[in-house]
Amino acid sequence: MQIGNTIIEDTFAEAFGMRYARLVVTAHDDYWLAAGLREFTGYSASVISCDAETGVERMLGQDETPDGRVGASVLVFGFSADALAKAIPNRTGQCLMTCATTAVYDGLPEAEERIPLGKHIRFFGDGYQKSKQVAGRRYWRIPVMDGEFLVEDKLGVRKGVAGGNIILQADSLEAALAAARRGTAAVDATPGAIAPFPGGVARSGSKVGSRYKALRASTADAYCPTLRGRVESKLHEDCVAALEIVIDGVDEAAVGIAMTAAIQAAAGEGVLFIGAGNYGGKLGKYHFRLHDLLAGPVKKLAASS
């Protein structure tokens, strides 16, 4: 299968079930919103070492937020609700409460599974915090130096899918970078999906295990151009650079749609191959076959979401 001159490999991406939460973050204006989002979504590329995988799902207009200010929907993925219950309050307290003018609301108010947020952070108020209940939802008003930090008491948590991916092989670094930007822009435009790595891209793709026993993962040597001749390479003979776009989504449909959009957008001049990373189907529950996605079943997935 090809898109133009780009060959789409007959392979699949292997993804995993995870839990996710959605935060609605608002601020006085775009500057302070961007500042808070940069901090909150920092150091969250992979749960191999990070406490969570995060990303901005989409920006929100003033007519879409609870307080009528500019905002953003942020997705946070973790292996369990307990993991999210640790990571999200820590990130919210350190990165959003500290950012001037921000407020944080629950983006999944109908979810049955709940984790604490403001319930923990409120103690920063040193006894001066106040509780407020509106339409059955509890909020905390924590006094801070520019007024009050408003934060929802609890967050909803649902089952999601993480680890969908595509791997680009290009005949130059410039072509690989341009393709990666096109691909990640397509993911950004997909509702319910994020690409959590820097700029949406991982240049340090990984494999399971290592010759060093303490490491759970190590470099994907089969995709490293400098290791040709030393390992069994999966690179096209003309490949100069390979990059991976990793995708997390609120469900299987969201990941499949985002992967399809990324493939279609990334294919183009200088892009030799588009493939995907997997572990032989032994580790992840969700398998996304690239040819199947491009043939159209993604529309069926979308209908089931």
List pLDDT tens digits, range 225-234: 999 999 999 9
Least confident of 1-5, 7-11, 165-169, 214-218: 214-218
**Residue 69 confidence (pLDDT):** 98
**Residue 301 confidence (pLDDT):** 43
Q: What mean pLDDT do residues 118-131 have?
A: 96
As a whole number of Å, the CA-based R_g of the chain is: 21
Rounded to whole angstroms, how far apart are CA atoms 294 and 88? 36
Q: What mean pLDDT do residues 265-294 have?
A: 93
Q: Could you give the domains of the chain?
A: 2-15+161-304 (3.30.70.520), 18-158 (3.30.70.520)
Q: What mean pLDDT do residues 33-57 have?
A: 95
Q: What mean pLDDT do residues 87-103 have?
A: 98
Q: What mean pLDDT do residues 268-283 have?
A: 90
pLDDT level of residue 305 (50, 70, 90 thresholds): very low
pTM of the model: 0.92
Q: Which of 140, 162, 164 is nearest to 151 (CA)?
A: 140
Contacts (Cβ under 8 Å, ≥6 apart) of 289: 10, 11, 12
pLDDT above 80: residue 303 = no
Rounded to whole angstroms, how far apart are CA atoms 102 and 151? 9
